[in-house]
A = this chain, B = another copy of it.
Amino acid sequence: MLADPRTRAVLDELTARLPADRLVTDPDVLASYAHDEAEWAPWTLPVAVVRPHSAEEVQAAVRACLATGTPVVPRGAGTGLSGGANAVAGCVVLALERMAAVLEIDPLERLAVVQPGVVNDDLRAAVAEHGLWYPPDPASSPWSTIGGNVATNAGGVCCVKYGVTRDYVLGLQVVTGTGELVRLGRRTAKGVAGYDLTSLMVGSEGTLGIVTEVTVRLRPLRGPERTVAGYFDSVVDAGRAVTAVAEAGLTPSALELVDRHCLAAVDAWKNMGLAADAAVVLLGRVDTPGAAGDAEAAALQSAFEAGGASWAAVSSDPVEADALFAARRLAYPALERLGPVLTEDVCVPKAAVPAMLARIEEIGARHETLIANIAHAGDGNLHPLLITPAGDAAARTRAQAAFEEIVAAALELGGTVTGEHGVGLLKRPGLHAELSPAVQAMQAALKAALDPHGLLNPGKAI
């Protein structure tokens, strides 16, 4: 089984450098660490999985890989949707799930220091006890880890008002491509000492360094949000309402789009009784306190109506409002019950949202592909979900063609191929279409500078 001398060498090195229970080579276990949730992205079995308990153990594992020329693929919870955590040939997977301690919460400086394996929702709950809030909230927040969120610069529902993961990362501890354990960034509110290596690491998918500790910025806990719901007869109408919200100068704390395919799938699964008499639902939230917040919620409702809502209202029932947002979060697993789901993640300018949604409908119809839509509509970040019946190769080919046309349409409308899921493996062709050759050369030069041996998650991100 261990025929390959390099494999033997790296296993020997890992065995020598780490406590015995950190190393896994059981093929059944390896399989469970071999890929993330990206449908159709290629993967292979790693030669080993290492589950380190400390930064020093991560460093030891990376040094074992460097010494033997072995690729290293870091991994959080494996909830990624672009293949960024997929194992590559001959690699060691570094699973950071056991480094899951919240090391420090400092209410005065409004920061927390955490290990990379801390689950997003767990961090949010921990800081809430101190009256603080960690905003980035990807749909995977009950499972995904802060390390994985940093690797992909994860977004979520809050981004339309509060920004993405990069906006909350003050500092990092990282094992570098030369096996050094370094601290980047700071604990102060401001600082411009040297190039911003922290921002560079965020979103680099483990290709420039392995994150072993994260210092995040926090905000004060918010009061309750108001929910504004709007029903629309078409996704394009809903897109017009999104543009109307921007035109009205509003900044809702959430502005999500969920179409009838999603609501029906959630109903079929969870029997939540959501199926609306509408093709699309827009869900807005407002967290401004007091009378100003009431006025903002009313203005949001007006913008929905101006955009062509068949019905819109500020919700007076928090249970109903929470159910609608739960449906937003459950849409992806609910749709997966219908067959493999290929998840898109394009982001377009707000003015282009109606046009992009129309293009998605047209592309789906032309390729006879069922496309459900969920979207962080308020920042133009759309997640068309391409659903194919399991085992239908022809449907898969059609869906693949539709996927590529959606990416091309987003670029044509001034958008980007990935808003928040990362490039991973799935968006590498799109990335090459988006960035000029000169910019791609700059990206490659950075990779070579910080990972001179080319062993950190090779073949991903750029």
Give chain A's interface residues, CB within 8 Å of chain B. 107-110, 131, 152-153, 155, 159-160, 164, 166-167, 176, 178, 180, 182-184, 186-197, 199-200, 202-204, 208, 220, 243, 246-247, 249, 251, 289-292, 347-351, 376, 378-381, 414-423, 427, 430-431, 434-436, 438-440, 442-443, 445-450, 452, 461-462
Task: Tell me how many chains of this kind the complex includes.
Answer: 2
Q: Which residues of B contact A446 (CB under 8 A)?
A: 195, 197, 200, 446, 449-450
CB distance from A298 to the nearest CB of B (A): 15
> Do B188 and A195 have beta carbons less than 8 Å apart?
no
A282 CA to B445 CA, complexed, in Å: 47
Chain B CB within 10 Å — which of A348, A442, A461 has the most? Answer: A442
> Do A188 and B349 have beta carbons less than 8 Å apart?
yes
Query: What would be 9 A-B contacts, judged by CB atoms less than 8 Å apart?
Result: A131-B249, A155-B190, A160-B189, A188-B419, A189-B350, A194-B443, A194-B461, A196-B203, A220-B251
Q: Which residues of B contact A155 (CB under 8 A)?
A: 190
Q: Which residues of B contact A200 (CB under 8 A)?
A: 195-196, 199-200, 446
Q: Which residues of B contact A461 (CB under 8 A)?
A: 194-195
> Do A379 and B199 have beta carbons less than 8 Å apart?
no
A462 CA to B430 CA, complexed, in Å: 34
Q: Assuming A180-B438, A448-B449, what are 20 further A-B pairs, CB within 8 angstroms?
A: A108-B350, A109-B350, A155-B190, A159-B189, A182-B438, A184-B439, A189-B380, A192-B203, A192-B418, A192-B420, A192-B421, A193-B417, A193-B431, A194-B423, A195-B443, A195-B461, A196-B199, A196-B200, A445-B449, A449-B449
A350 CA to B186 CA, complexed, in Å: 13
Closest B residue to A189 using CB positions? B379
On whether A435 and B203 interact (CB within 8 A), knowing A289-B292, A446-B450, the answer reads no
Q: Which residues of B contact A416 (CB under 8 A)?
A: 186, 188, 190-193
On whether A423 and B109 interact (CB within 8 A), knowing A182-B439, A188-B415, the answer reads no
A250 CA to B438 CA, complexed, in Å: 45
CB distance from A86 to the nearest CB of B (A): 17
Point out the residue from B107, B199, B439, B450 that lies within 8 Å of A442, measured CB to CB.
Answer: B450
Q: Which residues of B contact A199 (CB under 8 A)?
A: 166, 196, 199-200
Closest B residue to A445 using CB positions? B449
A249 CA to B180 CA, complexed, in Å: 37
CB distance from A151 to the nearest CB of B (A): 10
Q: Which residues of B contact A348 (CB under 8 A)?
A: 188
